[in-house]
Amino acid sequence: MWALSGGHFAADFASGSVPAMIPFLTARFDLSYALAALLLLAVTVSSSLVQPLFGFWSDRRGVLWLIPGGIVLAAVGVGGAAVSPLYPVVVVLVFAGGLGIAAFHPEGAKFASYASGPKRASGMSYFNVGGNAGYAVGAFATGELVVWLGLVGGLVAMVPVLVASALIARELPRLSRLTPMRGSVAHENGVDDRRAMARLGLVIALRSVPWFALLAFVPLWVVAHGHSKSDGNRLLFLMLLAGAIGTLVLGPVADRVGLRRTLVVTQAAIAPLILAFVYIGGVVGVISLMLVGVCVVGTFGVTMVLSQLYLPRHVGMASGLSIGLAMGIGGIAAVILGAVADAVDLRLALTVSVIAPALGVLVCLQLPAPARSASRAPETARPLALTAD
Tens digits of residue pLDDT in 215-267: 878 888 888 888 887 788 889 889 988 988 888 888 888 888 888 999 999 99
**pLDDT higher for 210 or 127?**
210
End-to-end CA distance of the chain: 28
Residue 94 falls in which region: left (phi positive, over 0), alpha (psi -120 to 50) or beta:
alpha
Instruction: Answer whether 81's CB lies under 8 Å from 43's CB.
Output: no
Answer whether residue 42 shows pLDDT above 80: yes
Q: Residue 116 — very low, low, confident or very high, per pLDDT cuts 50/70/90?
A: low
Q: What is the mean pLDDT of the chain?
A: 83
Give me the pLDDT at residue 382, please. 35
Answer whether residue 48 shows pLDDT above 80: no
Answer whether residue 125 shows pLDDT above 50: yes
Question: Which of 25-29, 54-58, 330-334 has the weakest average pLDDT?
Answer: 54-58
Number of Cβ within a 10 Å radius of residue 11: 35
Number of Cβ within a 10 Å radius of residue 235: 21
Q: What is the pTM of this model?
A: 0.71
Instruction: Answer whether 138's CB lies under 8 Å from 16's CB.
Output: yes
Distance between CA atoms of 197 and 309, rounded to whole angstroms? 9
Instruction: Answer whether 307's CB lies under 8 Å from 319's CB.
Output: yes
Q: Which of 56, 43, 183 is nearest to 99 (CA)?
A: 43
Answer whether residue 197 shows pLDDT above 80: yes
Residue range 199-222: mean pLDDT, rounded:
88
Give me the pLDDT at residue 389, please. 55
pLDDT in tens, 157-175: 999 999 999 999 988 888 8
The fraction of the chain above a pLDDT of 70, given in percent, is 86
Between the alpha carbon of residue 276 and those of residues 93, 222, 257, 309, the distances in Å are: 36, 15, 28, 35
Q: Residue 326 — very low, low, confident or very high, per pLDDT cuts 50/70/90?
A: low
Q: Residue 181 — very low, low, confident or very high, per pLDDT cuts 50/70/90?
A: low
For residue 128, give every residue at least 6 positions away whose Cβ sits within 8 Å of its Cβ, in sequence order, or none. 8, 247, 251, 300, 301, 304
Instruction: Answer whether 21's CB lies under 8 Å from 141's CB.
Output: no
Helix (H) or strand (E) holding 287: helix 282-297
CATH 3.30.460.10 is right for the domain spanning 2-386: no
Instruction: Answer whether 194's CB lies under 8 Å from 381's CB.
Output: no
Answer whether residue 375 shows pLDDT above 60: no
Nearest 10 degrees: CA dihedral of 255, 116, 200, 250?
A: 40
Give me the pLDDT at residue 56, please. 72
**pLDDT higher for 261 or 192?**
261
Number of Cβ within a 10 Å radius of residue 244: 24
Distance between CA atoms of 9 and 66, rounded to whole angstroms? 15
| CB-count exposure of residue 120 (10 Å: 0-12, 13-18, 19+) | buried
Answer whether residue 372 shows pLDDT above 50: no
Give me the pLDDT at residue 161, please. 95
Q: Which of 257, 308, 387, 281 is nearest to 127 (CA)?
A: 308
Question: Which of 186-195, 274-283, 361-370 has the weakest average pLDDT?
Answer: 186-195
Answer whether residue 305 shows pLDDT above 90: no
Question: Which of 169-173, 185-189, 360-364 has the weakest average pLDDT?
Answer: 185-189
Residue range 296-316: mean pLDDT, rounded:
83
Question: Which of 6-10, 63-67, 123-127 has the weakest average pLDDT?
Answer: 123-127
**pLDDT higher for 66 or 266?**
266
**pLDDT higher for 155 or 64?**
155
Residue range 26-52: mean pLDDT, rounded:
82
Give me the pLDDT at residue 327, please. 63
